[in-house]
Chain A
């Protein structure tokens, strides 16, 4: 058996040899520049708190990054089926499980790369434009469990929680891509999950039924724990609880992807 990393290299090649990947990465750089520029033009000065701007731009850019990741995830399996390349891919001396895993790993890396780029750009840009502010109380909410800690702890956790949410949406897109073999359907449904998440959480919070705290949407946004509240104030929820629920969904989504991909015949 050759080493597994070569499969990931192949998947990377299929992601980054397409011009669209570079356009996506270009937007990850461009959007923060645009937001900071609009702020300076609109306010007429440049005395913003760089941490505040970094947090704002990250929350906006996160939505875009997730959409890009979803697009790539949806294409990853379904695209091979629609172009027919799946046939020449699956007749190699590798199990289907390993091929699927290599695709998932490459997508995780793509998500990670975008998050890293987002971090570097939003930090570097705002530090350069507005200077590094020593006032971290403006950015860390006073009820936050990390209130009083270094601003880096807060930013680090913010990125971690956003990344976890992104991995969940990625798993949904990947599952739909493997199950329906249709990139469009996978993109559409995953973006629905992404965008309707907060709306559905809002609706769920109106009821006090105990099961609502097990719903994916109620747990996917971990950042509310970071500001010292919980996604559903009426429910008794903790960060550990949400992480456990997310882990359960993660296993189910990926189990479905795997079962469908490994078992189904490649016909027509």
Chain B
């Protein structure tokens, strides 16, 4: 793995008039990582993405793609990026194939064989010579993915990629993105307001609100950290008695007939032993993990429009 981040945003700021749309956003996307960019509508996700791909200028700060600044070395930076910005808008009067040829001509590394390969990859073989105006939204999404990955970019940027996809399509896209990240070392930068999607897809997420990053956190690996306290729920025959047994651990409480305590993994095992020794019957133990949605609402305070 190279040491150069696939994308590095440094104090990226965008002002339009005297309104600050994006306020000192800094983050790094590592090689082979699926990075989620999460935020309510209007928080500035699309604006940030537009600056990353050179559609909008930066008021201050810098964005480097694979070490090349989009401000000073745009062509080198853009050569490493594949993207779908919002909806994949294609030339409707051209066929799917002609659309791909159009983008392939702009990138010297793409051969005819590669075009055929990506068509198979996204499963459009049967309809590729139809005009795009006859495509469903899902098919256009697939064509959008095809043009984005055609030149084997080091960084794939997708803005709300699951819009308009059916559940099977979403699942397919998710698997494909993870496969790209794992097998080809492609970094994926994906924006969404669908929290559950991000949880399944991403290694890390940044949460954006009102143009500012309010949190960047890892999603995978958090649950295996042994030192981390989590809430454990014990299903026992007499919750009140059980609470008595645990006297001395002040944070135990009863939630919906279950005994809930905050504990590390080791402490959960220890608690279980004490309950069993005290003659309490334990039917089940489960960790109460906070979903990303809970966390998201917690950090954004449930506010929606930034």
Partner among B57, B88, B91, B93 whose Cβ is within 8 Å of the Cβ of A265: B57
Judged by a CB distance under 8 angstroms, whether A7 is at the interface is yes
Question: How far is B93's CA from A13's CA once the two chains are assembled, in angstroms?
Answer: 10
By the criterion CB–CB under 8 Å, are A267 and B56 in contact? yes
Interface contact B98-A17, CB-CB below 8 Å: yes
Q: What residues of A have a CB within 8 angstroms of the CB of B91 in the complex?
A: 14, 83, 85
Provide the B75-93 mask, 1 if CB < 8 A to any CB of A, else 0.
1101101011111111111
Most buried by A among B79, B91, B98: B91
Given the known interface contacts A2-B105, A7-B106, A10-B105, the answer about A91 and B53 at a Cβ–Cβ threshold of 8 Å is yes
| Chain B nearest CB, measured from A102 CB (Å) | 10
> How many chain B residues touch the partner (CB < 8 A)?
34
Contact with A along B139-169 (1 / 0, CB 8 A): 0000000010000000000000000000000
Q: A17-B98, A265-B56, A265-B57 are in contact. Are A87 and B89 (CB under 8 A)?
A: yes
Q: At the interface, yes or no: B54 with Cβ under 8 Å from chain A?
A: yes
With A83-B89, A92-B78, A265-B56 as given contacts, are A17 and B147 in contact (CB-CB < 8 Å)? no
| Chain B 170-182: CB-based contact to A (< 8 A → 1; otherwise 0) | 0000000000000
Cα–Cα, bound, A266→B79 (Å)? 19
Instruction: Give the distance in Å from the alpha carbon of A93 to the alpha carbon of B53 in the complex.
Output: 10
Interface size on A, residues (CB 8 A): 25
Contact of A90 with B54 at beta-carbon distance under 8 Å, contacts A9-B105, A13-B94, A13-B102 already known: yes
0 or 1 for each of A9-27: is its CB under 8 Å from B? (1 = yes): 1100110011000000000
Contact digits for A88-129, partner B, Cβ 8 Å, 1 yes 0 no: 101111110000000000000000000000000000000000
Cross-chain contact B90 with A17 (CB below 8 angstroms): no
Once the chains are docked, how many angstroms separate the CA of A94 from the CA of B94? 22
A195 to B132, CA, bound (A): 37
Instruction: Report the bound CA distance from A42 to B76 in whole Å.
Output: 66
Whole-angstrom distance between the Cβ of B205 and the nearest chain A Cβ: 23
Minimal beta-carbon separation of B139 from chain A (angstroms)? 16
Interface SS, B side = loop
Contacts of A17 in B (CB 8 A): 93-94, 98
| Chain A binding surface, main DSSP class | loop
Q: Which residue of A is nearest B55, CB measured?
A: A266
- Asked if A84 is at the interface of the complex by the 8 Å CB criterion, the answer is yes
Q: Return the contact of B107 from the options A9, A83, A84, A93 (Cβ within 8 A).
A: A93
B50 contacts A94, C-beta separation under 8 Å: no
On chain A, the residues within 8 Å of B54 by CB distance are: 90-91
Please state if A92 and B103 are interface contacts (CB–CB under 8 Å). Answer: yes
Assembly CA distance A265 to B92 (angstroms): 24
Report how far A263 CA is from B50 CA in the complex, Å.
14
Q: Which chain B residues numbered 59 to 87 have a C-beta less than 8 Å away from chain A?
A: 74-76, 78-79, 81, 83-87
Let me know if A41 is at the binding interface, CB within 8 A. no
A17–B89 CA distance with the chains assembled, in angstroms: 17
Query: B interface vs A, CB < 8 Å?
Result: 47, 50, 53-57, 74-76, 78-79, 81, 83-94, 98, 101-103, 105-108, 147
- A residues engaging B (CB < 8 A)? 1-2, 6-7, 9-10, 13-14, 17-18, 83-85, 87-88, 90-95, 263, 265-267
Cβ contacts A to B, 6 pairs, < 8 Å = A13-B101, A14-B94, A85-B89, A93-B79, A94-B106, A265-B56
